[in-house]
Chains A and B, each alone.
Chain A
C-alpha cells in the first residue's frame, strides 16, 4: 500500500521527464540501485558486507553478452528467452560460490575475502579471451525487441527498470518474512545460537548470497542493455567502490536505502562536473560520503526515518517508543 504511494508518481514520470532524465538519471539510478540492493540486502539481513556484488552483476552481464547479439567475434548467439535465464542462473551460482567461500567470515574478513574474489575475477576477465574477450570485452550489445519496440527505447526501458526494481524490493520483503529469511536474520544476530537450535549455518548463508546474486544479476542484465557494452572495467575496482558508496550513502539498514543512495550518487556523478572538474570528482564523492557517515550514520534512509519519527512524535506529543527501561 505504502509502496504504491511511491510507485505511482514514479510510473507517471515519463509524462514529465525528458529522455536524458529518464535514461541517464533515473534508469541508471534504478540499475545501480538494484546492484546496490544486493549489497544492502546482505548487510541488512545477513549482517555481512560483500565487495563482490558488482562482480555478480558483471557475471550476468558477461553471460548475456556472450549468448546475446554482439559485434565481437566471441560467443554463441542464443534467443533471449534462453540467454536471460542462463545469465540469472550464473549470477545465482556465482553468489552461492562466494557464499560458500566466505561462509565462515564476518566483518573485515568477509570484506577481504569478497574483495579478493572480485579482484581475482577482474584480472581473469582481462586475461581470458575465449569467454571474456580480454580487457576490451563486448560491444554492440542490443536489448530484446518486443514487436517493433526495443526494450532500450527510453520510456520502455525506464518502466522496465522501475518494474524490475519494484519486483525485487517486493521479493526481498517477502523473502525476509519466510522461514529461510528469518533464519538468515537469526544468523546475523547470533550464529552460535542458530546451530544450538539445530540449524546448520552453511545453508542460510549460501542462500542469502545466492539470492543477492539473483538481485545483482538482474541489475547486471539491465546494465548491459543500458551501457550496450561490457568489459573488465565493469567488474573493476571503480564499480565495486561505487556500489559500496551507494549502499553506505543510502544506509545499510533498509533495502530501499540502496535506491535513495543511487539517486544521490547519479545526481552527483552527473552534475558535479558542472562545478568541479573530473579529477576532483572522487574527492567530492569522498567528502560527501564522509559527511553522510558522520552526520547520518544510518545513511539517507536512516535520516529519513529519523525525520519522520521526529515529526510523528511531535504530533503524538513526543511519546516514547516503549523501549524497555530496564536498568539493573
Chain B
C-alpha cells in the first residue's frame, strides 16, 4: 500500500510508477513523484529526458500507458483533460499553444470561463460580463495590460510566453505545471517572470521544468532529475547538486543547451 497522504492530507500531485509509450519507445518509464500542496518543485534533465512527456501525462494531453496519477486524493489517471483542470490543474506549454485568431482579452476570458463556466453562452458577450473583468485583471497580472485588445498572432515571443502564464493563472489554480517558462525570454524579461512566480500564493503547488540549473535550484525547495525517461535523482537542491549521477549526466557531456 503506497503512502498517499502527508500528515493526513493528500498530496497535490501523486504520480505512481507512471510510464508513457510511443510505439515501442518508452518516453518515460516508472516515474514516481509526490508533490505537497504549496510545494515548489523543479524538474531537471537533458533534452529528450521526458520532462514534457511527464507533464503531458499528468494533464491528460497523452494518457499514461502505465501507473496511476492522483490530484488532491482524486484518481485522475484516465480522466479527460477538462476534468483535471476543473480540479485545480493548469499548465503552460513549452512551445506556446495559443489562439492566434483571438485577442489577448478574449483568450484570457475563455480561460476564466473554462473554469468558472459561461463559455456555453450563445448571445454576444456583454461589456459588463464578470468573467470579462476577471480576464482583464488577469492580463494585467501577466504583464499584458497594454496588449488587451491585441491579436494574439501579432504578439512578440516574450508576450506569447506571458500569455501562456496568464492562461495558467486563471481562476486560482492549486497545481501549476510550467514547462520552461523562461525559454527564449530576453534578459530584461526574465526578472519579471521570476517576480511573478515569487508572488504566487503559497497554496499553489508549482512544478517547474527548467533547463537552466541555476534558476531551477534557486527557485525550488526540491528537485527531481529525469534522464532517459527514468528518475535519476530526487531531493533538496543541495543534495541533488552533490549527486554523482547528476554530475555525470550534466557535466559529462550530454547536456545540450
- Please tell me if A192 contacts chain B, counting CB pairs below 8 Å: yes
- Please tell me if A178 contacts chain B, counting CB pairs below 8 Å: yes
Contacts of A324 in B (CB 8 A): 154-156
What residue of chain B has the Cβ atom nearest to residue A211's Cβ?
A: B122
The answer to whether A183 and B101 touch across the interface, beta carbons within 8 angstroms, is no
CA distance A192 to B97 in the complex (A): 8
What residue of chain A has the Cβ atom nearest to residue B111's Cβ?
A: A197
Given A178-B122, A197-B170, decide whether A189 and B102 contact each other with a Cβ distance below 8 A: yes
CA distance A326 to B110 in the complex (A): 27
Interface residue from A180, A181, A198 paired with B114 (Cβ < 8 Å): A198
Interface residue from B98, B118, B124 paired with A189 (Cβ < 8 Å): B98
CA distance A174 to B101 in the complex (A): 17
The answer to whether B110 and A183 touch across the interface, beta carbons within 8 angstroms, is yes
- Please tell me if B198 contacts chain A, counting CB pairs below 8 Å: no
Contacts of B122 in A (CB 8 A): 175, 178-181, 207
CA distance A229 to B156 in the complex (A): 56
The answer to whether A323 and B125 touch across the interface, beta carbons within 8 angstroms, is no
What residue of chain B has the Cβ atom nearest to residue A203's Cβ?
A: B120
Interface residue from B98, B113, B120, B184 paired with A190 (Cβ < 8 Å): B98
- Please tell me if A156 contacts chain B, counting CB pairs below 8 Å: no
CA distance A207 to B99 in the complex (A): 19
Interface residues on B, range: 35 or more
CA distance A185 to B155 in the complex (A): 18
User: Which of B7-15, B85-93, B229-237 is the contact stretch?
Assistant: B85-93
The answer to whether B121 and A197 touch across the interface, beta carbons within 8 angstroms, is no
Given A195-B82, A196-B61, A326-B157, decide whether A180 and B101 contact each other with a Cβ distance below 8 A: no
Q: Mark A181-219, 1 if CB is under 8 A from B, else 0.
A: 111011011101111111110011001000000000000
- Please tell me if B174 contacts chain A, counting CB pairs below 8 Å: no
Which residues, 74 to 131 on B, are CB-close (under 8 Å) to A?
80-82, 85-86, 90-91, 93, 97-102, 106-107, 109-111, 113-115, 118-125
CA distance A322 to B155 in the complex (A): 11
The answer to whether A196 and B85 touch across the interface, beta carbons within 8 angstroms, is yes
- Please tell me if A177 contacts chain B, counting CB pairs below 8 Å: yes
CA distance A204 to B110 in the complex (A): 12
Q: Most chain-A Cβ atoms within 10 A of its Cβ — which of B80, B93, B124?
A: B124
In the complex, how many angstroms separate the beta carbon of A183 from the nearest chain B beta carbon? 5
What residue of chain B has the Cβ atom nearest to residue A323's Cβ?
A: B154
Contacts of B61 in A (CB 8 A): 192, 195-196
Contacts of B85 in A (CB 8 A): 195-198
The answer to whether B80 and A195 touch across the interface, beta carbons within 8 angstroms, is yes
- Please tell me if A328 contacts chain B, counting CB pairs below 8 Å: yes
The answer to whether B157 and A185 touch across the interface, beta carbons within 8 angstroms, is no
The answer to whether B154 and A322 touch across the interface, beta carbons within 8 angstroms, is yes
Count residues of chain A with CB under 8 A from any CB of chain B. Answer: 31
Contacts of A182 in B (CB 8 A): 102, 106, 109-110, 119, 125
The answer to whether A179 and B109 touch across the interface, beta carbons within 8 angstroms, is yes
CA distance A178 to B102 in the complex (A): 12
> How would you classify the secondary structure of chain B's contact residues: helix, strand, loop or mixed?
loop
Interface residue from A180, A193, A207 paired with B97 (Cβ < 8 Å): A193
- Please tell me if B167 contacts chain A, counting CB pairs below 8 Å: yes
Which residues, 77 to 130 on A, are CB-close (under 8 Å) to B?
none
In the complex, how many angstroms separate the beta carbon of A145 from the nearest chain B beta carbon? 33
Contacts of A323 in B (CB 8 A): 154
Which residues, 221 to 252 on B, are CB-close (under 8 Å) to A?
none
CA distance A281 to B80 in the complex (A): 51
The answer to whether A197 and B109 touch across the interface, beta carbons within 8 angstroms, is no
CA distance A44 to B156 in the complex (A): 25
The answer to whether A178 and B86 touch across the interface, beta carbons within 8 angstroms, is no
Given A188-B101, A193-B99, A197-B110, decide whether A183 and B119 contact each other with a Cβ distance below 8 A: yes
In the complex, how many angstroms separate the beta carbon of B162 from the nearest chain A beta carbon? 14
Contacts of A203 in B (CB 8 A): 120
Interface residue from B98, B100, B110, B123 paired with A199 (Cβ < 8 Å): B110
In the complex, how many angstroms separate the beta carbon of A104 from the nearest chain B beta carbon? 13
- Please tell me if B52 contacts chain A, counting CB pairs below 8 Å: no
The answer to whether B120 and A179 touch across the interface, beta carbons within 8 angstroms, is yes
What residue of chain A has the Cβ atom nearest to residue B106's Cβ?
A: A182
The answer to whether B123 and A174 touch across the interface, beta carbons within 8 angstroms, is yes
What residue of chain B has the Cβ atom nearest to residue A204's Cβ?
A: B119
Q: A-side interface residues toward B, CB under 8 Å?
A: 174-175, 177-183, 185-186, 188-190, 192-200, 203-204, 207, 322-324, 326, 328
Please name 30 pairs of A and B residues whose Cβ atoms are closer than 8 Å in the assembled complex, sorted by A. Answer: A175-B122, A175-B124, A177-B124, A178-B121, A178-B123, A179-B109, A179-B110, A179-B119, A179-B125, A180-B120, A182-B109, A182-B119, A182-B125, A183-B113, A190-B97, A192-B97, A193-B99, A196-B85, A196-B90, A196-B93, A197-B114, A197-B115, A198-B82, A198-B111, A199-B110, A199-B114, A207-B122, A323-B154, A324-B155, A326-B156
Closest 6 CB pairs of A and B: A198-B114, A198-B85, A197-B114, A195-B81, A189-B99, A197-B111
